[in-house]
Structure 1
Amino acid sequence: MGSTTMTDDIGKRTIFLGQFRLVRLQVINWGTFNGYKDLPVEERGVLFTGPSGSGKSSLMDAHSAVLLPTHDQRFNASADLNVRGAKQGTRSVADYVRGAWSETNDEHNRSKVRYLRGGKPTWSAIAATYADGVDAITTAVVVKWFTGAETDGASLKTMYQLHHGHLDLTVLEEWAQRNFDTRWFKQTHPAHYPDSQAAYVRELGKRIGLGNSKTALSLLGKAKAMKNVGDLNLFIRGNMLDEPGTFDAAQKMLDAFTPLNEAYETARRAHAQEKVLREVPESWTAYRESGQTHNLAETLLGAPMEHYVRGVHVQAIREALDALDHEIKSLDADLGEQERRYEEAKSAYVSLDEQLRREGQALEEVKLRLDAANREVEARERTHRTYRTLVERIGEPCPEDEQTFVALRQKLPRILERAHQDKAEIEPRRHAVFAASGQARKQHETKATELATLQASRSLIPRREADRREMIADGAGVAVTELPYAAELIDVDEAEEQWRPAAEKVLRAFGLRLLVPAAHQRAVQQFIDNHDMRGVVEYSVVPAESTAADRAEPGTLASKLTVDETHTAGPWLAGQLAGRFDHVCVQTSEELDQHRTAVTLNGTVKLPGSHYRKDDRRALTDPASYILGGDIRAKVAALEAEVARLAEAEKQARAEADELDQRYRQVESTIEAATQLEGFTSWMQLDHWSATASAQGYAERIEQLRADNVDLQRLEDDRGAAEARWQSVADARSDLRNKLSALRARQTSWLNMLENETAEPHGTSNDAHRSYLDQVFADLELAVTPDNLAQVRVAFRKELERRRDAAEADRRYAHARLKSAIERFVEEWPDSAPDASGDVDRSGADFAALHADIVRRRLPNAMGRFQQMISEDMVPSISVLQRAIENAANEIQSRIDMVNSGLSRVEFNPGTHLQIAYQATPPAEVKEFRGNVDALLRDAPAARRDPEKLLGQFRRVRALMTRFTDDDAESRRWRDAVLDVRTSYFFYGIEKGADHDIVSTYRNTASSSGGEQEKLVAFCLAAALSYNLADPDSEGRPHFAPLMLDEAFSKSDEAFSQQALAAFDEFGFQMIIAAPIRMSGILEPFIGQVVLVDKRVAADGARSNATSATFSDLTPRQGRTAASVPAD
């Protein structure tokens, strides 16, 4: 860029090479400086001095405008803001550009500002040149202009410039003459032209060693007007310590969580999709196969089945005929042999019988009489046995002679009359006793079944409701465990057990309400709506994500209940209980009227509108019927006691019924027996004793005849044996003949049947049909004979129909499961559905393929990416934040040590040095965060191998991220406590003597005298600036040296001022000071140059000028101004 002879006035650097110092300040039309001013600045600093109001502060403000962002510029810093009525910002950039030089009142007594450059377009420019004394020179330029007569800052336009090397501001005059043609200027004078102040300040900071420290910039602005730092701890925190890098590390961590959370959602989505579609492949296969089976069975049920069964029948007939032919041939041979044996046995018997007839005619006659006598004995004994049984039934002794027989017959009318009376007495009672016994048995069986069901199901829900839920779950294709009753998730708090009876009464209906997840709403609704539920069904849909549940008010029924918060419906249910069951719990009914809704310990409920209700039905008062809670022990004990009581009641009722029934049957038996006994009119028909004696006489006669003729006895024995042999052979022959006759008849019938069957179509030529029908026939396990065709046909048809119906049922079931899964998928992920029509036949194969793709590719990829990100990105980024927190703390301590090293080189008071002391107390939040990080790092290896632990790792990460992103007051406090390491430090100043003993402790500068304040402020400023700008490689000297001090040390004596200036000098700062002439003697040892500023006022305005001078030039002026009070 262009340079002028003024640059020749800037000498070679002799101190602190590599440190950026101000070497030149140029202004055009700045305040009362009209036109162009070019001021070289000596490497050891410059003193702007002159009379009060001459424009010293204007030059300081010019440097602020080119160096600092607007909020740190602090124009007219020499003004005492502690004076009553004083205010910050009384000067503005617009005032400087217009050249405001006085303020008067107009004719209406309103304030009127007079400008040097008012009423027309005008412009101002400032340039500050910085050099490091080695090879780097940067000129920063800020140009401001009005294109019209405006005076407000909003109308100002700005151009920022950064040039390598020197730039003469006069090059802007042509730009102004060209009506502020910025485009032309940028093309003519290439340089860096930032488009905003932030970009300008950022780039300038990089070039001149300021870096990105906002605190350093702010502190440079504050230093101009720093009169008092107040609380040292707050000053050091706010002015020495930049926002630590932990906030950036936290943001990077949060940025890493965003893709991790997306990866988790992708994996969760894939897992959820796989779960919804898990049964689709199997159901799709079952749907297609059952459809094929149904169609095949339906096709075969007609003529194909008839032909196949006929073919089976023909085969069975042929096999049976072959077996029958063999059997007939065998029996024909046997019959010939039996015929021969029959003739031989018959001939032997006839011969012996004729011989016996000739020789034993008398014996035969006695035998005939014996046979007749024996038959009479048997008849009388049979009649007597019947008689004796009847007599025993009426409870009388059985007569054994005619006299007792007659006596009993005379007694029978009285027995009958008494029995009829007993029957008339018993009969009315039988029905009631039997009904009571049956009711007792039914009650016992019902409770016993309920107890068995409870022990098996481990649920307090009644069997009817449990069966109804199972029916709904099966029909809707939903797991029973996903449809809990509200009562299964609710229980009475252990400390409030006395309120269980009341809670059971009030919550009975609500407890038997099904809780349906929103994901299953459609399937459950459709099934319930399309089917008869055989009773009342109430259900509530539980949203997928529940808001924070309302807390139950203390003292209400809801507050005495607990909810299973581990269940997904728990939070929602807790909110429902808090809202629905806000009944105030009172001890007695007298307290009910004090509340809108309330319930007593005994279960009386008061409802709005002075409505009262108490339900003491046994189902609500019996502990065996309680439904609340998942612990069945109390209900099991109650049911066991109830079952035992009902068993005893049933036993007693049954015993009473049995006893009465026994009496009734005895009476009926007596009536029946007595009535039959009246039919026995003669003793002769019962007297088997006399008949036995007669038969015995005939038997003795036969024995006598046989004893008298031994040959006759032998002949009789031989005839008997021959007769037995003949009869046996005859029977065998007859059996064979009958069997052969039946077999030949069967053979004829089967032959006719075979002829008829083979005349009709039989068998099937379709291999697939035959294979399926063979399978059906084999599964029947039914033996086929020629005679059971009808049975086989019926069984075969039924089996085919059963298979057809079973296939159709399987097909419908598979269809329902497919449709439910597809509809759920389309509803939740329409963008991922291969087909959104819901048509199972059209889209079933696509969804089965989608499930296979999810299992094979999508889910493993998503889980792999999720695992990789949480292991390789997220956990390390959290660990990086932890290290950033530790590093920030170490950095603070390291830099404080470096600052203290600089302070130790300058005496604060004779023989003492000021040091910055601190106490570090990390808050509990930091320890909590460190514990979380340690846990994440500890579990990282296991999480790589175990999906469940990986998910747990993510949940911990997500909970941690929530703490960092939530915007409530507690979360913000926690976040700041963890990230802002500065808050864990308490800073204060200590003054140490030569022996390192603490002489004084400083916590607030306001408590010191004016001079002591300014010295302490100076030391604190030096420490703060050194902290932010120091270069650790150059013994703590700052990268950027210029330090502006406007009217500093106005209250200090010479000793205090020199000590303060020595501190700045020792730390390596280049002081740019605006001060009255009387201070020049004190400043001379620390300043390399003087610029004398004066101002002349004419009718057309005030104009300031600035010229270089020497300290010796100021000596005559010091006397004239010694008594003046500076106030620029």
Structure 2
Amino acid sequence: MTMVDTLFGLIPEASRGQQWVAEDLQLVNWGGYDGGPHRVRFSPAATLLCGGSGSGKSTLMDAYIALMMPHTTPFNGASNGGVTGRPRGDEQRNVLSYGRGKLDETRTEEGTKVQVLRGDGEDTWTAIAVTWRDHDDSRFTAVRAWYIPAGARVLEDTVRVRATANTGFDLATLERAAAQRLTDASVRAAGLEPVGTDREFSARLHSVLGIGAAGSGANAMSLLARIQAGQQITTVDDLYKRLVLEEPETMRTADAVVVHFDELESTKQRMLVARQQVAALEPIRDLRQRIDTAAGRMTLIDAVGVFEDPTSVASLWRAERRMDLLRTVEDELRDRTRVLDVLVREKRVQAEAAEVEHDGLRDLLRERGGDRLETAQRELRGVERRLEDARVLRARFDDDLRALGAEVHSRAEFDKLVGRARAVLGDADAKGNAREAWADARRTRDGLKIELAQRERAAEEATAFAGNIPGDLYRSRELLAEAAGLEPHQLPFVGELIEVRTEYEPWREAFNLALGGFATTVLLDVADLDRFRTAIDGVRTPRRLTYQGVHTGLPANGGGAENRLPGRLEYADAPFTGWLQVRLAERFGFVCVNSSAELAAHEQALTITGQVSRGDQGAHGGHGRANVLGFSNRARLRELEAAVEELRPALDRAEEAVTAAETALDRFDAERAAFARIVDVVWDQVDVDALVAVQERWRGVESEVAEKNPDIAGIAAQIEKAKALAGRLREEIGAATAERQQVEQRWGEITDDVDAGQALIDEATGSDRAVGAEQAQYLDDRFASPASAKAGPSVLLERFDGALQTAGNRLNEDRATAFEAHHEQRESMRRLMAGFLERWENPNLVADPDLYVDDFESILAALETSGLHQLESEWRDSLVHLSGNDLTNLDSTLGRALRDIRERIEPINRIMQDLPFYDDHHRLQITTRESQSEARKRFRRDLREVRGLIEGASSDQEREQAYRRMSRLIGHLRRSAPDFADLIDVRNHVRVSAERVTADTKQHVALYDHIGEKSGGESQELIAFIVGAALRYQLGDAGAERPRYAPVFMDEALIKADAHFTKRAIGAWRGLGFQLVIGAPNDKYSAIEPHVDVEYDILKDTQGRSWAKLKVALPEAR
């Protein structure tokens, strides 16, 4: 838009400084205005559109908004205060609903269905046009049209037309273009000039119609939209800020500061992420190297093969290494054979000489009586051997004798002991008797243990309860009481309620027998009986209980005569006692007699032994049962404790008897084993004394011969020496001969191995197979024995062969180790990749070490190349300095914005200086008062302090501190911050009010602050003056005689004032040079009607179609 500088500021060049008024509004298929074109002609002064609610007034107003305003301006502004959602969105009125003529929504089986006037399953179109006229009858028309396909759901699905004409235009001529889906060519053919974008369209309107100074037509249109919406306003401050002041520059500056900071913060986050990613990915190279190493190891081992395969590299290596060893062993065996041949010959010569010497000495010994000496020595050696064996047997024999407690010194005693042994071993019943005695002792002891445990358990159970009832009955009662929600004392046993009187204690057993099971019957109040039965039905108890519901609270009578069972009892003070005494008298009223002879004399009788009679019937027996009667079980506890003390000594004696029986049984087994060994011994085997005597006799013979021939000993010693030498030499000859045979055998084996190894090497050479250097190195390291100066060739060969015996297993272990290492490193890399992708998702990558390792390394290389992860300190310095400059700019913008608000008021006040307000002698002026708050002061102070910290920061720590302080300050600048509006929106830093002053002296007369305090008419006059003046300023021609752009649409405005104030409000608008188009309901337009030139009634039929009926009109312009 080209602007020119005038006395009123920069204005569009296309504006001729005159005034444009709206001449007419045309509609085609807009809302209820079906078909068309529908035309509404406006008065240059004021036009009234009146009608009932929903008739279509706002639809006309919204058509003007749709044509002139940006898409962010909502429709139906006067009545949509309770509507939510995006302006012109699905939840509000929008172009699609207007274009199809939406009537209502209905619920069907398929869902919600929209009822429309047109476009239901077919294409439709809609158009809006306004024609303006200036003082020289020049006309300008703006058109918006939309072609709406049947399937359109949003505005973007439509064909949108923005066009202008420098003349009047009839929308009927657009019908043919609509048939061609409103193409640019068809629109041009209709006489319009299409415009490509909303921005260009608005710029053209603002330029031609002269809307807005300094190119700020958007501000003027925004104010016109707010005026048209007619929103409820209660204070002058609110009026001025909502309708006159736009969003201050401070808010945009704060947004820019936040955006800049967030961009830098985002860069920081990227840096941190990059650093984390580098740290996460750095191990991948080492892992890859390890994987490659493990894979290479596996490949090497696979290439080596196995020693069992004669064609493998391993077999060839073994043959080559073993061939070298075999050659040296072959030389060693050859040398050893020569040495052994010489040694055998030498030893044979020496052995022959020793044997000759031995024979000569033996001949000499025989000549000197040596035969008798030799016989004595031979016999002596035999006796000594037998004596040694006899002493061993005698020691064992003596052990058995000690076990039996016997002594044997002669053959007769020995024979007697053997006879005794055979008798014992032949007694088959002896062992059984010993075992039976041991078993009897154990049975006696175990029985006493069981009896003692029972009595101790009975005593322990008795201490848990107060009465004499058995413990399992008590436990059963507790289960039932808990289930029924009753206490145990509410369910007493009969035996707990009665006690035998002291003078009749001998009768206790008889009374127990007579009462029988009745004594263990549980009593309960009959009132609880039904509930009790229901509650216990599912309860399982260790003992079956008998219970009876009784009437409680009956009076007690003392029990009756003392010659009867009930009269010899004492009764507990309980609710059940009265009923119990009656029942005992009825069923158990036995007469207590001294002998059975008296039983027949009574209908019911009882003897002290427990026999009862009932006429011809009776009962007896069951003695020894535990007592169940009595209030206390102290007597029972004393009995049980006495029984326990009585059993303990008996149990100790039984334990001693068991020990004695076990000892006797063990002794019997030991004696029987000793007897079994004795019967296998012969006396001569253990008669050591006889053998000692024989030994002494032969020693005597040896001494006698030696004394008669002194030289015999020397000759004998020489003979033994010669014999030993000859024997040793024969052994050495045998050993050397055997070794030579072994060497020869080994030599033959080595020769065979050499031939086989050479054949394998020759075959490999012929097949071009060889052991690689890496393979040889691996096999040498794993299996070759290290050279040793002390180890001979045979030892080295033996070590080599020994090492190869486990070579297969070791190769498998190496292969498994390499595979495990490869798998482990791959798994480590996979986890690294998975962890990386879990933290930083990337749909193009998969945690696969085989396929994507290059991609991950590329990411690492790119990160390292960019160096982003290493620039945090430099980034922080830049962030602090750049954001510090932003804060400086914001601080200055806050001060400048406050000045702008005050400067904004001055031209508006100049406009109102020439407009009479209230009467001809007064004027209306706008005043401002700055409002201070501690929060704003602290905020501005923080701005300056943070800037100082930034400028003074010289170390990383100080810069980091400044950054954190600045980060907190930036938090207040975000629109989501609770104190954003108070701190940043400078409109809240001033309080705007109006005052009435005298026209000549400008003296203050009255203050206008709260609009709600004024009457409806006064409020509307006040609004008209302030907003009208502000609009003149926004339109950019505050100093002109009249505004260049005159139309002001007002929906449901001026409807709360009487005729006087309505006249003054309309007069204010007209005095400011504006053309008014006012929409009002049927019942609220009477005060407006006298002051308009043109009036339309807006009507709607039963089908939902609207039209504008002219009621008051001006003459046709000629």
TM-score by length of 2: 0.44
| CA radius of gyration, larger in | 2
TM-score by length of 1: 0.44
